[in-house]
Amino acid sequence: MNIDIDSQKLQTICETNDISYLGLFGSFAVGQEQDDSDVDLLVDFNSTKSLLEKGKVVVELQNLFNREIDLVSRKNVKPSLKPFISKQLITLYGEK
């Protein structure tokens, strides 16, 4: 993983947005990112979020990572993708 973020800011974003888990997967997790790669993040929220609330989280994370973010809710992951994501997953906040 070749990504440099402020862990305190990440913790604040997670706490203020009721995030119980945030994990990294995809190209950044396996060290195959390109200059134009987005950051793939798996998320669990403690409560249901509206589209607007999720959009706010994406913007905050984009500002932190300085990249486009693909925010994926764990409960919406297709069963066929779960093993692929689990193999790459790097926990950034919370517990698996």
- For 5-40, what is each residue's pLDDT tens digit? 899 999 999 999 999 999 999 999 999 999 999 999
- Whether 1 is covered by a domain: the verdict is no
- Whether 85 is covered by a domain: the verdict is yes
- Whether 55 is covered by a domain: the verdict is yes
The CATH code of the domain that includes 43 is 3.30.460.10
- Whether 2 is covered by a domain: the verdict is no
User: Which H or E run includes 23?
Assistant: strand 19-25
Q: Does residue 1 carry a pLDDT above 70?
A: no
User: Considering the entire predicted model, what is its pTM?
Assistant: 0.92
Number of domains in the chain: 1
Could you tell me the residue range of the domain that residue 70 belongs to?
Answer: 7-94
Model confidence pLDDT, tens digit, residues 32-84: 999 999 999 999 999 999 999 999 999 999 999 999 999 999 999 999 999 99
Length of the chain in terms of residues written: 96
- Whether 18 is covered by a domain: the verdict is yes
Q: What is the pLDDT of residue 2?
A: 62
Q: What is the pLDDT of residue 95?
A: 86
Q: How many CA atoms within 13 Å lie on the side-chain side of 70?
A: 11
